[in-house]
Structure 1
Amino acid sequence: MAALEKNPAADLMSMFSDSYIQGHRNAKYGQLSYAAKQETETKGLPEFRTRLDLAEIATVIYPLSDKVTAMLGQYSGGWLDNKSIDAEQSLIASLKQLIWDSPKIWESSVRGVVVKCNEDIVAKVITGNKDYTEYTSMQYLEKQVPDISAPRPHGLIALGPFRIIFMSYIPGQTLAQAWPSLSHKEKISIQHQLDEIFCRLRTIRQDDGSPLGGVNGEGAKELRVDECTLFKNITTTKEFNSLQFSARHYGSTTYVKLLRSFLEYDNSTLIPGSVFTHGDVRINNIMVKKEPSPSGEYIVTGIIGLEDSGFYLHY
């Protein structure tokens, strides 16, 4: 109420939690008729960047790299002076202008947008300003396995109800885009490269007793239970299994007990500790590029989309 008294024109949705906003969107979409859903998907929703008008505050969560600072400084350097009364507004204006001036390379009208700021840096604007799992995972991988190609962190800013993650640009195209034109031999080659990358990631271990989920203690995720909640202080296999089975289901309690009983005879659940996991392995999160050499082989240039990554059980 205090925020509304201060600014009666403030956006109400920006005052609610991420989980409420996501549930509200799902409920609205679920109420549409089949024809209306088809029309919505055909016509498309407004460009995500128009929602940046909702942002009236900005906070630097993780320091910006020199490259990002220089980019923003091209629009206005006033925000660099923390003593300036207008420093925050200068930063907000610079961010919005940079996002609008940069070409889109990915967009979801609900989730966010990724823009290419220059040849080295991209900015990922995502709904929600509390979850920093993706950023801390990038920091962790850069330190622990610098030879594995993943985006490198360049700073994070909470901008109103959004977060802007600056990261290095991974060249190439997604495996989803390249897949239809790949030969069987090229697909096998990419498979072997991915096997090596993900097996290497799983060698990064964490001992029993440490929280599962984000590497900086952000908490575990279980999208079947809640798409937006971070479940903190889950440290054991039993606790994580209980979280998974807390998801809403439509079977009887007898059926659920039957499913849970299978875990008692699965030796993989007995392996101690946890391993680093990408969390969202799919062809849209794998970048590939065709080599300019005479062989013209495809190489994996990087793995992206680390927002669901962290330490999880072996199975």
Structure 2
Amino acid sequence: MDLRSLPYPPGTSFGGVGGSGCKDIRRHLRRNNKQITDLSDFEDFLLDGSHSGGGVFAELIRQLSSPTHSPLSPSIVFTHGDLRPDNIVVDMGNGSEWIVTGLLDWEYSGFYPEYYEAVKCTNCLAPYEENDWFLYLPDCVSPKNYAHWWLLDRVRETWFI
């Protein structure tokens, strides 16, 4: 079964299914301190931090975001939250075919906007990166399919520097 097809119960909190809430780990682990049940609240969570000031930057990011209450808003899907080669178990199939047989490390999994897996699985991607793994991500988690949201998050990342 495709993990992203697990049904999101509307009105329930984003994040871990056990009630652990949303987690954002950029420089350190942050958890939401209030219930998040829509995309607008989630975007606010990503911008809220322990920073003082920066209101103009945060407001500009909010204005650049796509409308959060429209038919074009991203769906809420179940995500692994930490897709990277170390967490993917593969087995050599027939010949040179590799078969994914498991995923490890589920502590960041939960219900998030569909673009968020593309953001999370490229958190380690830097301009000087030589690991071509990032070029072969499946379409469902590829930044190519969520370019606007992915680029916006890269700008948001400067908020945490």
Instruction: Tell whether 2:46 aligns with 1:244.
Output: yes
Partner SS for 2:12: coil
1:301 to 89, 96, 101: 101
- State the distance in 2 between where 1:252 and 1:232 align: 21
Residue 218 of structure 1 aligns with an amino acid whose one-letter code is: S
> How many correspondences in the alignment?
114
What is the CA–CA distance in structure 2 between the aligned matches of 1:224 and 1:250, rounded to whole Å?
18
Q: What is the alpha-carbon distance in structure 2 between the residues aligned to residue 303 and residue 226 of structure 1?
A: 23
Contact 2:32 2:45 in 1 (8 A): no
Q: SS state of the match for residue 216, structure 1? A: coil
> In percent, how many aligned pairs have the same letter?
34
CA distance in 2: counterparts of 1:234 and 1:270, whole angstroms: 16
TM-score (norm 1): 0.32
* Structure-1 separation of matches of 2:112 and 2:60: 24
Partner of 2:125: none
Query: Displacement, 1:218?
Result: 1.9
Gaps of 5+ in 1: 1-144, 146-199
Q: Residue 270 of structure 1 aligns to which amino acid in structure 2?
A: S
- The structure-2 alpha-carbon separation of the partners of 1:297 and 1:220, relative to structure 1 and needing over 3 Å to count, comes to same
**Equivalent residue for 1:216, pick from 15, 18, 21:** 18
Is the aligned partner of 1:313 residue 2:113? yes
Larger radius of gyration: 1
Deviations 1:70-103 (A, max 9, x none): xxxxxxxxxxxxxxxxxxxxxxxxxxxxxxxxxx
Give deviations 1:198-230, integer Å, cap 9, x for gaps.
Answer: xx2111121331111111222111224851646
Contact preservation (8 Å) 2:6, 2:77: yes
Aligned to 1:169: none
Alpha-carbon separation, structure 2, partners of 1:224 and 1:203: 27
Measured against aligned partners, the alpha-carbon deviations of 1:103-146 in whole angstroms (never above 9, x if no partner) come to: xxxxxxxxxxxxxxxxxxxxxxxxxxxxxxxxxxxxxxxxxx4x
CA–CA separation in structure 2 for the residues paired with 1:275 and 1:248: 28
- Listed as ranges, the matches of 1:64-75 within 5 Å are none
- Alpha-carbon separation, structure 1, partners of 2:40 and 2:24: 14
Q: Is the 8 A contact 1:220 1:231 kept in 2?
A: no
Distance in 2, Cα, partners of 1:231 & 1:277: 21
Specify the alignment match of 1:23 in structure 2.
Answer: none
TM-score by length of 2: 0.58
The one of 47, 69, 73 equivalent to 1:270 is 73
Structure 1 equivalent of residue 61 of structure 2? 259
CA contact (8 A) 2:89 2:104 kept: yes
Q: CA RMSD in A?
A: 2.9
Matches within 5 A, 1:1-315: 145=1, 200-224=2-26, 226-227=28-29, 229=31, 231=33, 233-248=35-50, 252-265=54-67, 270-271=73-74, 274-291=76-93, 293=94, 295-315=95-115
Structure with more of its chain in helix, by fraction: 1
Letter in 1 for 2:11: G
Output the amino acid matched with 1:236. Answer: D
Q: Secondary structure at the match of 1:259?
A: helix
> Is residue 21–residue 32 contact of structure 2 (8 Å, CA) maintained in 1?
yes
Amino acid at match of 1:233: Q
Q: Distance in 2 between matches of 1:289 and 1:308?
A: 24
One-letter amino acid matched to 1:261: Q
Amino acid at match of 2:113: L
